[in-house]
Structure 1
Amino acid sequence: MNHDDALAAPATPDPALPMLTVAQAVRLRALAAPYCEDGRSYSLHNLAQQCRHAPEDRWPALVEAHFAALREGSRGGESAEELLRGVHARLLPTDSIGPELAGALRYARVVADGLVFAYGLDMPTSVRILTDADVERAGLEELGRAAYANVMRVPVEHEEVPVEGGALLHSVYGDSPFIASKALFLSEAARQITGEALPDAGALVVMPQRNLLAYHPIADGSVVDAVNGLAAYAFGAHEDGPGALSPRVYWWHKGALTSLTVIDPDTRTFSLRPPPELLSLMKGLVRLDGAGRLATSTTAEAPDTAQLTRTTTESITRLTQEPAGLGDAFASALTLAHSHCAADPQLAHIDTWDAWATAVQLGSALFTGAQAQKCRLGEDIEPQLPAIAAEPPADARAWLDAFYLALACRRQDRADRLCQVPLEALRQDDSVDAYVLHWIDTLQTYWSQQPMDDVVQKLLATMETSMPETVTHAPMDFVNQIDYQPIALFHRLIARDHDTFNETLAEAVAHHGAYWGDSAAPRAQVALGPLAMASLAYDYGFPVPLKQPHLPTYLLNRERIEELPG
């Protein structure tokens, strides 16, 4: 290598202080050496971050100021009252706790990979980490309550940051070195900052610097984009420093932090590996969100039914050349059927019926095959559904949609064929919780007129597996307000309890409305599962009230039922 090549070669980062070159790190250690003659070991990580952004002729002053702050912060001797007044919960990098300091912080604990929880005393120009002696003087329980209250009072700035793919990050920042510590109490912090509690699934969160955190509530399919967005956000902010805390992405769930980031110490490379529970949840959310089943804080715009009609027509027409597109065609037809009910909630018009009828045709064809037949989506719109072989996909929720449609539209023949779909085929769907498959098993057993004892046992299994401690793929608000409602109605249906059925139906409709709020999303228009159960009850002679929101009257009372091709 010649002299010019050596000048052009990139500087080698220091292994322990990678924000500096090897030569810069040697100089910083030399500047710090006189301050370390007391035999104690000090982390130079934050000091190196400061020096990285400053001209080297300013380094001596930065080093002097850094160790002066450390001396001030290590004096101690405060009264118990002073400790309680100034104590805050504090997150620290694990590598900032040397052997000597660890011996004086036996109360501190590792809360997640890369993070230690301790108590910090807020002082005029520095923060002192409290020792075991301080904790004993003030009392552990009293310090815990005061540290929580004080850290929650720390003022912050809040900004919403969109990332590629549509995910939204909440960036929380300010001047205080305790802002990142709010991640320990993220649910309450989120409520204070945005006025909204976190979902049951929690949130993804990063704390790259002590005065910065960013989080994304785990509520819909955008969680996949949020993971990557947060990883890039954390890495960049952690490298910028000073006050670097952790470059990792964490999952905050039920008060605990779990790292998603795996760091290879030899190559210093990062990878994201969500734990199995979170991976299952993400898979379920993506599937639910993609099918338009999730209500989010953003109110969906009312869909354009004319455009949806064209899209559905085109998707049916393409099936002759692309039969694998049947699942998408069914999803499009079902979206169109729901969307029509925004302007025609009682399903009084023929165009609305045509959309529902087409959804019935495509839903049953998806799972049981079909002979060639016309679909009707308007007076002059009659796309041809080609002959379809029976190849049921591993899509349990699509099967439920198809079955609910067959019941609501009184197509017993199609319901019969759907109940012959092997449960083993649907069990291949790894995006749903066990209760969904137990529910399908219950419906197939009942519809096939098997012994009622078998039906009851399978219904009990459905109920037991829909409890919060067993659900891992779907948000609990969706499970409780949407998915469970037809199950509760079926329970009253087979008990032939007319009064309780109607009370449960009113509750189901209310839950549907509460879940969707003022959303204009297609699924918000009709409570499909409760409609199917109410249609069964009506046909069994239950005195079902016909005028209820989200239950189209002319489907429920059979007045809008017309013939379909076989």
Structure 2
Amino acid sequence: MLTAAQAARLRELAAPHTEDDHSTSLTNLAHMCRHEPEDRWPDLVDAHFAGLRAASSGGESTAELLRGVHARLLPVESLTPELTGAMRYARPVAEGLVFAYALDGPTAVRILTDADVERVGLEKLGEAAYANLSRVPVQHEEVSIEGRALLHSVYGDSPFVASRALFLDELARQGTGGPLPDAGALVVVPTRHLLAYHPIIDGSVVDAINDLAAYGLGAYEDGPGALSPRVYWWHRGDLTSMTVFDDTTHTLSIEPPPELLGLMKGLVRLDRAGRLAGRNTGKAPDVGELTRKTAAAIGRLAQAPDSLGDAFTSALELAHAHAATDPNVALLDSWDAWAAAVQLGSALFTGTQPHECHLGETPALQVPAIPAEPPADARAWLDTFYLAVVCRQRDRIDRLCRVPLEVLSQDDSVDAYVLHWIDTLQTYCSKRPMDDVVEKLIATMETSGRDVVARAQRDFVDLIDYQPAALFHRLIARDHDQFTEALNEALAHHGRYWGDSTAPRAQVALGPLAMASLAYDSGFPVAPQPYLPKYLLNRERIETIPG
């Protein structure tokens, strides 16, 4: 930040204020001086060291210490051997960061020593430090740098602003009115006066890592009050560094820990398939545009059969989108979309012979012969299975149950409970012993717990993904009343998760609809409800589906 000549002059001005046997950091002083004319530097240096002397004098009363103490993040390089020896209570909280207590005095901030802590008591001092830190005034704003990642910037005049990252969930509640997601947040603390974070809610986490790395590094280099150039993962109160420095090339890179990397893979896959509520844009899906998009995707299959997955995703999105204006699937165009989704989904996993499919008034679309090459996409298999059940496609269900679980198990974006759930459905629909079905259902339940799931949002698992298994439990127990209660709960969870979102998947609860269809066919008294298209549930819209 200074030229060699300027740095030498700053050291010369600082030398009379320092002791020969102590090392003194001039980083913050350099940040201040670089923005001022050099003829003002002597006064700045004198004022800086006068403030340090006043702050280090000590002698405050217990009441004064409790009134002014704050929890404080310090850069690890700021702890000289002398400070370290006097602050045995301090502890590392993440790579490059140390937790300590600091006194906010009238003219300067003083780092507390072991003697200060002993005078007040560690527990009492800690409670006061937390309370004082939580009252530090901050300003909050949302920043969108590039792509779709949204960053929350928190800043203020206090030198304790960045230290509020220690209690990031509380800070998020104050700034946004809601808690951080169970997956936590990415966060940077580049200077004492600034932090920025990104709640981990969807696939935009990939963009956010790069955005935060650039944002944090720039602020760290600009200063003053530099704290850390690293990107951290805040998760359940802990900070984990993701920044790796290469001392040979003098470069840095971002390497998420395995747990976060798995979570990111899962969120990206879920997001791309439109399964996450995320941030609602308020724009309703355009059925006409989706119809043209799906028709074009089907038209490309003859030349690009490997694009079948994209065509299926588009058709499934279209089927859900129709429910926004035709919630009962009473119209032919709506049924055509559901039938096309079944055709493309089953072709994706079990192959198909040449056949036609229809999308409303568009000309008949030709689906070419496609060999059976099931992809390692567990949730796409579940979608296809649910569609086949809803559309009463017994032959397609049988073929889906013959898709090897070993292939689907290669999907590293899903948690174990998803694969156990597929195993349960394949076992049940293959008419194997009920004891085997129950054993696999129990495995599904055991692997969907909070401490086990690592690749999906907790609320998505609880409110959406696990609900079909909960309904299936009541279905095989043949308990009509409890099935009805569980179905009402599943639909309420669906509404709670999606809120007022206009996303296609918000319109139909596909998994519960499939379980309700099985129950209806087994004589359960299942009544049409929101998110359950009436004419699919009662089979009145079902027609023959080619392929």
TM-score bracket, normalised by the shorter chain, equals over 0.9
Which residue number corresponds to residue 365 of structure 1?
A: 347
Q: Which of 525, 531, 534 matches 1:553?
A: 534
Structure 1 segment 271-310 matched on structure 2, within 5 A: 271-310=253-292
Q: Deviations over 1:457-491 (max 9, x none)?
A: 11111111111111111000000000000010111
Q: Deviations over 1:471-512 (max 9, x none)?
A: 111000000000000010111111111111110000000000
Q: Tell me the CA shift for residue 144 of structure 1.
A: 1.1
Q: Distance in 2 between matches of 1:331 and 1:300?
A: 21
Q: Distance in 2 between matches of 1:285 and 1:313?
A: 28
Whether 2:218 is the aligned partner of 1:249: answer no
Assess if the C-alpha contact under 8 Å between 2:312 and 2:344 holds in 1: yes
Which residue number corresponds to residue 28 of structure 2?
A: 46
Q: Tell me the CA shift for residue 40 of structure 1.
A: 3.1
Which residue number corresponds to residue 114 of structure 2?
A: 132
Which residue number corresponds to residue 476 of structure 2?
A: 494
Q: Distance in 2 between matches of 1:219 and 1:47?
A: 40
Q: Tell me the CA shift for residue 165 of structure 1.
A: 1.2
**Secondary structure, aligned partner of 1:438:** helix
Structure 1 segment 140-159 matched on structure 2, within 5 A: 140-159=122-141
Structure 1 segment 305-454 matched on structure 2, within 5 A: 305-454=287-436
Q: Distance in 2 between matches of 1:396 and 1:62?
A: 64
**Secondary structure, aligned partner of 1:541:** coil
Structure 1 segment 178-327 matched on structure 2, within 5 A: 178-327=160-309
Assess if the C-alpha contact under 8 Å between 1:334 and 1:359 holds in 2: yes
Q: Tell me the CA shift for residue 381 of structure 1.
A: 3.1
The range that moved more, 44-53 or 272-281, is: 44-53
Q: Deviations over 1:287-324 (max 9, x none)?
A: 10100000124344211000100000000011000101
Assess if the C-alpha contact under 8 Å between 2:280 and 2:502 holds in 1: no
Which residue number corresponds to residue 513 of structure 1?
A: 495
Q: Which of 452, 458, 462 matches 1:480?
A: 462
Q: Deviations over 1:226-267 (max 9, x none)?
A: 000000000110111111111111000000000111122344
Q: Distance in 2 between matches of 1:101 and 1:389?
A: 70
Q: Deviations over 1:43-75 (max 9, x none)?
A: 222112222333333222222111111101101
Code of the residue aligned with 1:553 in structure 2: it is K
Code of the residue aligned with 1:52 in structure 2: it is R
- In structure 1, list runs of 5 or more residues that go unmatched: 1-18
Aligned-residue RMSD, C-alpha? 1.1
Q: Distance in 1 between matches of 2:248 and 2:67?
A: 44
Which residue number corresponds to residue 8 of structure 1?
A: none
Q: Tell me the CA shift for residue 345 of structure 1.
A: 0.7
Q: Output the TM-score relative to the length of structure 1.
A: 0.95
Q: Tell me the CA shift for residue 91 of structure 1.
A: 0.7
Assess if the C-alpha contact under 8 Å between 1:163 and 1:225 holds in 2: no
Code of the residue aligned with 1:260 in structure 2: it is M
Aligned length in residues: 547
Q: Distance in 2 between matches of 1:25 and 1:364?
A: 70
Q: Deviations over 1:182-215 (max 9, x none)?
A: 1000000000011111000000000111010000
Assess if the C-alpha contact under 8 Å between 1:72 and 1:126 holds in 2: yes
Aligned-residue identity in percent = 73
Which residue number corresponds to residue 11 of structure 1?
A: none
**Secondary structure, aligned partner of 2:72:** strand
Assess if the C-alpha contact under 8 Å between 1:534 and 1:556 holds in 2: yes
Q: Distance in 2 between matches of 1:524 and 1:365?
A: 25
**Secondary structure, aligned partner of 1:90:** strand
